[in-house]
Amino acid sequence: MRCEWKGHSGWIWTIAFSPDGKRLLSGGDDTSVLIWDVLGHSAAGSSGVISSKQLQALWADLANEDAARAFDAIGLLASSSKKAIPLLKEKLRPASPSVEPRQFARLIAALDGDEFAVREKAREQLRQLGERAEPGLREALKGKLSLEVRKRIEELLESVRVSAVSPENLRNLRAVEVLEHIGTPDARQVLKTLAEGAVHARLTREAKAALERLAKRRLVSSGQW
């Protein structure tokens, strides 16, 4: 659990986000309407002054399995944009493009090779592709495959599922959230760079989604939405 807010004394019947996505309003049967800081107490209580050592520690915390600790890091980084943006620009890289279709087809075929070394090499190369291999692996399962090849592909898809919630992937996605909360032109530029990565990569899709939400918020703020 990232964060828990307490205030209402009864059921909550309605919630709504502010146009900038940084505030949450809730109304309950206790007749009260409360406004919550989405970034939590960490951002609200931050002085905005973070040392280089603290900055690196916050980067590490973005990968922490403790969701509450990672949430605090998101809030503190978002409230220290002048230091956070250069850090995230340095650390984050667009997802590498997927392999060329013919090469991918050769790797799939090699999974059914006669030699163990050939099969293992192909399996490892596909494993290293991670989520970039997922669309091709799922498409391959639709074809006629031997039971052994089908089993190997299913094992590869399971490794993709597991790696999706790896500390490194979680940190990257949380970093995108930091950039969206900051929302300045410099932050949007980093998001644009990430959005140019491999089409099927989660990082690419999340960066694009963040940019779309920011664009809508600007329209709402200007009264054009």
Cβ pair 200, 135 in contact under 8 A: yes
| DSSP secondary structure letter of residue 133 | G
pLDDT at position 12 is: 86
Q: What is the pTM of this model?
A: 0.75
Going along 38-159, which residue ranges are E strands? Answer: none
Torsion of CA 118, 119, 121, 122, to 10 degrees: 110
List the domain boundaries for the chain: 1-38, 50-91+166-221, 101-163
pLDDT value at 74 more than 90: yes
Task: Give the residues across from 15 on adjacent strands.
Answer: 26
Pick the CATH number of 101-163 from 1.10.10, 1.25.40, 3.30.200, 1.25.10: 1.25.10
Could you tell me the pLDDT band of residue 29, with boundaries at 50, 70 and 90? confident
Share of the chain above pLDDT 90, in %: 53
Nearest to 78 by CA among 205, 187, 203: 187
Cβ pair 92, 168 in contact under 8 A: no
pLDDT at position 223 is: 61
pLDDT per residue over 122-170, tens digit each? 999 999 888 888 889 999 999 889 999 999 999 999 998 888 778 999 9
Rg (the chain; Cα; Å): 22
pLDDT at position 7 is: 80
What's the CA angle centered on 76, arms 80 and 20, to 5 degrees? Answer: 80
Tokens read off for 120: 């293992």
Cβ-based neighbour number of residue 159 at 10 Å: 15
For residue 99, give the 3-state DSSP assignment.
coil
Could you tell me the pLDDT band of residue 45, with boundaries at 50, 70 and 90? very low
Query: What size, in residues, is the chain?
Result: 225
pLDDT at position 101 is: 86
Instruction: Give the span between the Cα atoms of 209 and 92, in whole angstroms.
Output: 17
| DSSP secondary structure letter of residue 130 | G
pLDDT per residue over 82-125, tens digit each? 999 999 999 999 998 877 888 999 999 999 988 999 999 999 99
Residue 179 CB contacts under 8 Å (≥ 6 apart), including other chains: 85, 88, 187, 188, 190, 191, 210
